[in-house]
Chain A
Amino acid sequence: MKADKVVEFDVALVERARRGDAKAFERLYRDHVGRVHGLCLRMTRNPDLAADCVQDAFIKAWKALPKFEARASFSTWLHRIAVNTVLEKRRGPSNAEIAVEDPTAHEEPTMTFDTPVEEEELEAAIESLPQGARDALVLCGVYGYEQSEAASMLGIAVGTCKAQLHRARGLLRDRLERGVR
C-alpha cells in the first residue's frame, strides 16, 4: 500500500477510534505496533521494558485520541507518545546525561558505510552507544526523523541532537572499524 493510502486509511481508522470504536483502534495497533516496538526496543535495549512502553504508549494514545489533530501524521504522533513514555520510564539520576551542544555541527542523519556491515553487528554497535547518541541515531538515522523533530521528541535542543548524531557517527566508526559517511 502506498504511503498516502496508508495515511488515508489511518485517518479513517483514527476517526472511528475517536468515536470509541475499539476494533478500529486494534487495527491501528496491529498496523503500527512493530514500528513502535522497534523504536522502544532500540531506545531501552530491554525487551520487557520495551513491551511495557509500547503497551503504555497505546493506552495513552487511546486516551489522547480526542486531542489528535487529523492533519498530523498518526504514526509520528504515536512515536512521540512512545518516545515520551520511554523517557518517563528511564527518568532518574543515573540516566542524566550532560548535553553537548554544538550549534556549528552539520550532521547528515543518513549514515553510509564504506564496506557492508552485518545487520546483527550494526544492531549490537547501536545498542552499545551511550543513551543520548543512541536516541538521536535511532530517531534520525533509523526512523528518518528530521533533527528538529527528533530534538523536540527528546526534549533537547537541535544543536544537542546534531552533536549527539556526530558522536554516534564517530563511535560507530570506531566500533565497526570502517568508514562511516
Chain B
Amino acid sequence: MTHKKYCLKVGNKYTNEDVYKLADQVGNINVITDDVTLGKDFTIIPVDDSLPTVWNKMRLFDTDQFPDEGIFFDLDIRILKDITNIFSPLEYMALLQTDWENLEELKRITIGNLYGYCSINSSVMVWNKKTKRQHVWNQFQKDKAKALRLFDGIDKYLEHRHFKNLSFFETGLVGSYRCNPDADVYIMSYDGEGKEWL
C-alpha cells in the first residue's frame, strides 16, 4: 500500500499519546494539527483556522492540498489485522457505512428531522490518484458558511449533501466497538467509546 497516512489532532479531545499509539500501529503518519510539539516526530500539516476541529477532514477532498493517494484514520481506531491490501480502488472517497446500526429504525425515528439521519462514518477514509473528490471540496467551499451552521460534523454534511459522491468500504473491513466489540474486522472504530485499550 503506497498510501500516505494521515490523522487529525486538533483541540483537547485527544492527546499526543493517542497520535503515538496510532503511529505504532500504522507506521509513519502525517498529522493535521494545531500542536507544533508533534513536529519533532511527525510531519505536521497546520490546521485551517477557518475550519472548526473535525471540519479539517473536509480538506482531504482537495487534490491541491492532498495530491497523493492517502488513507485517513481517526485517533480512536485500532488496527486488528494486516490492512496492506484490503482497500481496493474506489471511484469516490471511500468511507464507512454504519451497517452496525439499525438504519431502518434510525430512518423511522428521524422522519421529519431534516439532518437527523446519518449512515456515514468518516473514521477511516481512503482515496487514490483516480478518486473523484475535488468536486466535493469545491461544493463545500460554496456551502461552507451554511454547513458549519447546520451540521454538527462532516458525517452528516456528507450524508445529506454528497451521498452520491461517496464510495463505501465492503462490509466487514471496519467495525464499531460500541455496537459489536467482538466483530472479526480489520479495523475497529471506537467512536469515542471503549478507549481503555489506548
Q: Decide whether A and B assemble into one complex.
A: no
- Report A's interface with B, CB cutoff 8 A: none
- Report B's interface with A, CB cutoff 8 A: none
